[in-house]
Amino acid sequence: MPMIPLHSTVASSTKLYASTKLHQFSAQYIVTPLGLFMTWLSIHTSLAYIVLLLGAYFEALVGPSFFIPGEIFLLGGSILAGSHVLNIWMVIGVLYLGAILGDTSSYWIGRMIGTSIFHDDKKFLNFKNYRKVEELLEKYGLIGIFFARLVGPFSKLAPVTAGIFKIPFKKFLLYNIPGVLVGCGEFIVAGYFFGNNYELVLWVVERYTAIAVVLLIVAAGAYWYFVKRRKDKKYAHTEVSE
């Protein structure tokens, strides 16, 4: 009978334990598509990296990117990596690769099709949004490609607009890739930290949520009171002046 290496058994048990705990956590506390997605990934770990790669790609591809929430892939994959369900380096690799390939595809779509992809009757791909990105690139030059990747609405349109402007592909990559690394990296770091410390986060949530809600209500009430008081004083001052 072949002997099973002890380290392999321990690793498998640790992974199973983490997957079970995170499944319970996501089912109870992440009541959104993110929780369902994480649960699915933790069960189908053999497909997880392909799904994350495709998700990151289509989230960056002009068109689908307006309807696919990229955070679900960035946070879902990194949280599972932080909880040792997935390999962090594999997660980082597929997420970055998918995002870069998606932006690259958008660039070439813009370069080949031009402004015909934009229409005034479209919700996202309209000339109003195109002009915003155009102004950004004209104001900041190539560095605007980097900054655009850090700002939600611009990140969807900057690569295709760079292609329309026929910015040299190598220069596009030179500024786009760092933008991808920083833009996606902030979510990956946050997700990994969360996944690595979710039991602590859960402990804080269970004990201090009620206090946080009360403080939030008090702060909102105080803000409303002072704003109302200022408006009343302004109104009274206006009446006296008249």
Task: Please state the domain count of the chain.
Answer: 2
Q: Evaluate the CA torsion angle 18, 24, 29, 31 in order and state its sign.
A: positive
Average pLDDT of the segment spanning 206-228? 64
Q: For residues 230 and 67, give the distance between their C-alpha atoms in angstroms, rounded to a whole number.
A: 42
Which residue segment(s) compose the domain that 231 sits in? 209-242
Q: Please write the tens of the pLDDT for every residue from 91-145.
A: 999 999 999 999 999 999 988 988 777 777 777 777 777 788 888 888 888 888 8
Q: Is 16 within the bounds of a domain?
A: yes
Same domain, 40 and 153: yes
Average pLDDT of the segment spanning 75-100? 92
Q: Please write the tens of the pLDDT for every residue from 152-183.
A: 677 788 888 888 888 899 999 999 999 999 98
Q: Is 1 within the bounds of a domain?
A: no
Same domain, 127 and 239: no
List Cβ neighbours of 42 (8 Å cut-off, separation of 6 or more): 19, 22, 23, 80, 85
Of the candidates 53, 26, 54, 58, the residue with the CA atom closest to the CA atom of residue 40: 26
Same domain, 146 and 63: yes
Residue 70 φ then ψ, to 5°: -65, -25
Of the candidates 158, 135, 138, the residue with the CA atom closest to the CA atom of residue 148: 158
pLDDT of residue 129: 77
pLDDT of residue 94: 96
Same domain, 14 and 62: yes
